[in-house]
Structure 1
Amino acid sequence: MRTLCAPLFAFVLSFSSLAVGAGHEFANLADAKRVHGELLALDFIHRSGEFRADDGVLTRFFMPPYAIMKYRGVEADLREVPLGTQMTFVMLPDADGKLTQLVTTDDGQPADAAQLKKFREFTEKRGIAGWIDKTDGSTVTLTFFSGDPVAFQTAYGELLAVGKGGKLCVANDELRTWNPGVDGEGCSITEVNKVPTECFGSSGVQITVKVSNMLEGFRRGRVVRVFLTGWKVQDQFYGESLMGYGFGRMLNQELVENVAKEYPEQFPFRTDYSNAKLPWYQLKEGVKPPPFSEHVVFGELVEADVKNGGGQFLAELGGEKVGFTLTKPHAIKYLGADVRFEQLPKGQRYRFHLYQDEKGAFTRVSFISDEFSHCSANATTARITAVNGKRLHIAWQLPLVKDYNGDMQRPEDIGSAILAVGDATRVWKGDQQVKLADVKAGDVVLFNRTGELPGRPSSCADLWIGEETHKMVTEKLRKPVAGKK
């Protein structure tokens, strides 16, 4: 499994189709399923999200490297597509046969020139993406990605010609670069070829370039970005870049380079990100398990046997009941504080770190954390952008960070989501419970919610307004624990 963490829709997907350099094939749309629904959440950085189909079923998706959303009839980055948009989602199955791969979307609108211009400007700040077909000596052959080959040729055809140049930069399968100034090589185009465009994702343009040095990331199947002649070579913005070069240390650990995903050979066991053919790590008495050895599952806690140190939760989406026992030692986080098992409210969604028992079933839990705690640990808060009846539109934001000049800057939002609220939602501000009607655009919030289960959509259980409130509830919960003997 692969954990796509961060925002509201943190969840688990099959990792086997997400390995670095996996696939290297464009999508045959004849094999795709078209599902109409409403866009509910987006993770701009990990190129993932969720939509609710017209039949009420929630689908969580990730996008392969070549995939591209369309909005107003043209290509669009995830940041440019508003939540609540009704559209058709073109889906392909992953390696486990589940429809989790979003290839493209269709909102049925005519082509909008202003939107296309916005997408081109967005792309040129980051470099056009493609993957490597082969390397030979000091040359690299690559095919560019595009959801509209004709528009691609119109925009970049003159720059993609023999004798032209640019900078070839290493990226990952989320199209994120490390540091283009260093993790890239100047290149000159020696050959341009047309390639088939019957499969979605191919621009129809393949080039061969000559470089002075072959970087580690220049391997068949790997993703690259190319800054063409005249384009400014620059880092992606803080949070999107895999390095965050020139800024303060990244506090959100889900945005830094994921070594289990990018360098799987360093791990002698299976992880949620790679090494599907290896066995999972087995817990050893008195030995702290290594990083990335856990299998993360999200679910709603329904039973807690405090005396025997175990319980049951309902796994998200499928609703399967999972029985578990707590390992010794274990850790539990609630509202940002270390708590005892009996302090966890039932009927809420938690993150469970699981290990196999002697029968190979994932029943041993070493760590439980609620969404409030997880966001707090990763220095991430939600900003209310709109209040629409029983739905709150939120944007996920990072804290202020010191830039190259020593000035404090607010990074760009890293995701967005629609949060369902209702009569059962409790709202807190300071040490007082307030009304849901008191929530307004601009409020900075953290929240906990129920799990997404068959026939019962997730909804907000508790919502805390303001960073001072967040600190207050955590400190209040810590006091009895700190005083425990």
Structure 2
Amino acid sequence: MRLLCVLLFASALSLSAADAAKAMEFPSLNDAKRIHGELVSVDFILRKGEFRADDGKLMPFSMPPYAIMKYKGVEADLREVPLGTKMNFLMLPDAAGQLTRLVTTDDGQPADAAQLKKFREFTEKRGIAGWIDKTEGNTVTVTFFSGDPAAFQAAYGELIAVGKGGKICVANDELRTWNPGVDGEGGSITEVNKVPTEYFGSSGVQVTLKVSNMLEGFRRGRVVRVFLTGWKVQDQFYGESLMGYGFGRMLNQELVENVAKEYSEQFPFRTDLSNAQLPWYQLKDEVKPPPFSEHVVYGQLVEADAKTSGGKFIAELTGEVVNFTLIKHHTLKYLGADPQFAQLPMGQRYRFHLYQDAKGAFTRVSFISDDFSHASANASTARVTAIHGDRIHVAWQLPLVKDYNGDMQRPQDIGICIVQVNAATRVWKADQQVKLADLKAGDVLLLNRTAELPGKPSQCTDLWIGEETHKLVTEKQRKPAVVKK
């Protein structure tokens, strides 16, 4: 999980391609629970985030492919909803019964024409999303997604008609495309049907398109995007696209195509992303566990015994106390370096890679990493966009990347988040501790914080300002300690 303040919750598994056909069902809004709260973090790319309910509880969410937020009374992409916006979040339970699936939002505002125009422009650059109902011969039948069928018809009705054309592009359940120029197929609309709209996510429009070639991704239950007649067929922006064609190699491993999610049938065990019906991977002596076999949990480290390689952490959100043991071949990361177990500071938030013990409990740990190290390893930094007292608004960004023309460009932000500070928060610049008041908009940060625990909201323990500071603190951490005689 990217350090976006978006918490990992294993119960809300993303849909794999193999699972998609089983979940083709639009929900009734009557089944959704309305929870009022404030938006505090958003992952633009993976369509996840968090809001803080009015009772103070932090609520992580993920969005199914048909889910669409509303802001200023109309549809909106996650990028268009500011941090701190207070609204009703309409939530549905996941497979484990937890309210983690966000269907839409309601801010109670009248429809704003400028916001609607912005959303239409956003959509037309990426194609209308929908899922495949069936394929037959050389035809593909698609039901489009929308949170407002009337507005959808008004915007696209003339373009979605028999005889009109479009290009169908393969996407995943985060609505991300690979390379529309290649992973897509032109087609002509041969049939347009009305479908029920009393369920959320349905546009009310189903089309059948005749294509020359059937692509591998054209399967029932799979998500596609369709560029209608006159729309420019183009890649999504760098970081948002699953390929990043034409740009330098993607350094953030959480944005590249995730094989455990997209190709779950290749994995003979359960992962945090798919295969909920399979057992978890069981550790074997002297055998390095395969990628994606771990169960990732965030928590606050409270005990570490170097002699026994045992420790204790408090799981984020739930407050569950977990007693764990490091496996023989483990990895520890703190401030980008490789510390000894006893050197990990207590009372901070870490990422734990867990495996089951002989009793089936997740108590064996192969990897521990702090937020600083995780963000640094994924080439992400947080840019301060606003400061409101003890609440710092940040935008998560990627490093400069070389574009098609060989020029270095700054990719679009990949998410936003509110981080909380207090009088105990330490702020570092170069090799000096500075005052919290010295922090300003535009500063580029890495940070560590406490875990979000019941009744104890997360707080930043340390903020490091500037990329040179980030390098300096890691280099300093890597230097061996001098033992005084």
Q: Provide TM-score, normalisation by structure 1.
A: 0.98
Q: 11, 16, 19: which is aligned to 1:14?
A: 11
**Equivalent residues in 2 for 1:388-467 (5 A)?**
388-467=388-467
1:10, CA displacement in angstroms?
A: 3.9
Distance in 2, Cα, partners of 1:436 & 1:193: 59
Q: What stretches of structure 1 of length at least 5 have no aligned partner?
A: none
State the alpha-carbon separation in 1 of the partners of residues 250 and 14 from structure 2. Answer: 28
Q: Over aligned residue pairs, what C-alpha RMSD do you find? A: 1.1
> How far did 1:8 drift?
2.3
Residue in 2 that maps onto 1:474: 474
Instruction: Give the Cα–Cα distance (whole angstroms) in 1 for the partners of residues 116 and 24 of structure 2.
Output: 27
Structure 2 counterparts to residues 260-275 of structure 1, below 5 A: 260-275=260-275
CA contact (8 A) 1:15 1:274 kept: no
Match of 1:350 in 2: 350
Residue 12 of structure 1: CA displacement? 2.3
Per-residue CA deviation, residues 223-261 of structure 1 (Å, 9 max, x unaligned), is 000000000000000000000000000000000000000
Q: Cα deviations across residues 13-57 of structure 1 (Å, max 9, x unaligned)?
A: 324463331511111111110000000000000001000000111
CA contact (8 A) 1:172 1:222 kept: yes
Aligned to 2:63: 63
For the residues of structure 1 that align with 2:272 and 2:39, how far apart are their CA atoms? 26
Name the aligned partner's letter for residue 297 of structure 1.
V
Instruction: Report SS of the residue matched to 1:338.
Output: coil
**Aligned-residue identity in percent:** 79
Aligned partners of 2:312 and 2:323 also within 8 Å: yes
Question: Deviation string for 1:194-244 (max 9, x for gaps)?
Answer: 000000110000000001111111111100000000000000000000000
**Partner amino acid for 1:290?**
P
- Long gaps (5+) in structure 2: none
Q: How does 1:49-128 map to 2 (within 5 A)?
A: 49-128=49-128
2:477 maps to a residue whose letter is L
User: In the TM superposition, what is the alpha-carbon distance from 1:319 to its structure 2 partner?
Assistant: 0.3
The within-5 A match list for 1:295-334 is: 295-334=295-334
Instruction: For 1:313 and 1:255, locate their aligned partners in 2 and report how far apart those are by CA, in whole Å.
Output: 28
With over 3 angstroms needed to count, the CA separation of the structure-2 counterparts of 1:131 and 1:376, relative to structure 1, is: same
1:192 aligns with 2:189: no
Q: Distance in 2 between matches of 1:157 and 1:113?
A: 18
> What SS does the aligned partner of 2:387 have?
strand
Give the structure 2 partner of residue 341 of structure 1.
Answer: 341
1:446-483 deviation digits (Å, cap 9, x = unpaired): 00000000001001011100000000010001011799
SS at match of 2:227: strand
Amino acid at match of 1:278: L
Quote the offset at 1:424 in angstroms: 1.1
Q: Which amino acid aligns with 2:144?
A: F
C-alpha deviation, 1:6, in angstroms: 4.2
How far, CA to CA, are the matches of 2:130 and 2:458 in structure 1? 37
More displaced 10-residue stretch of structure 1: 8-17 or 72-81: 8-17
The answer on whether the counterparts of 2:14 and 2:274 sit within 8 Å (CA) in structure 1 is no
The aligned counterpart of 1:239 is 239
Distance 1:324 1:193, change over 3 A: same
**Residues 325 and 364 of structure 2 are in contact (CA less than 8 Å); yes or no, is this contact kept in structure 1?**
yes
Question: Aligned partner of 1:335: which letter?
Answer: L
Contact in 2 for aligned 1:6/1:254 (Cα 8 Å): no
Q: Distance in 1 between matches of 2:294 and 2:8?
A: 14
Q: Which residue of 2 aligns with 1:147?
A: 147
Within 2, Cα distance between the matches of 1:357 and 1:77?
42
Counterpart amino acid of 2:437?
A
Are the aligned partners of 1:339 and 1:481 in contact in 2 as well (CA < 8 Å)? no
Indicate how the Cα distance of structure 1 residues 481 and 297 shifts in structure 2: closer, same or farther if over 3 A, else same.
Answer: farther
Q: Which residue does 1:5 correspond to in 2?
A: 2
Alignment match, 1:257: 257
Counterparts of 2:3 and 2:216 in 1: how far apart (Å)?
29
Q: How does 1:374-389 map to 2 (within 5 A)?
A: 374-389=374-389
- The corresponding residue for 2:48 is 48
Does 2:274 match 1:277?
Answer: no
SS in 1 for 2:180: coil
Matches of 1:13 and 1:323 in 2, distance apart? 19
Q: Secondary structure at the match of 1:337?
A: coil
Give 3-state SS (helix, strand or coil) of 2:332's partner.
strand
SS across alignment from 2:479: helix
**Counterpart residue identity of residue 136, structure 2:** D
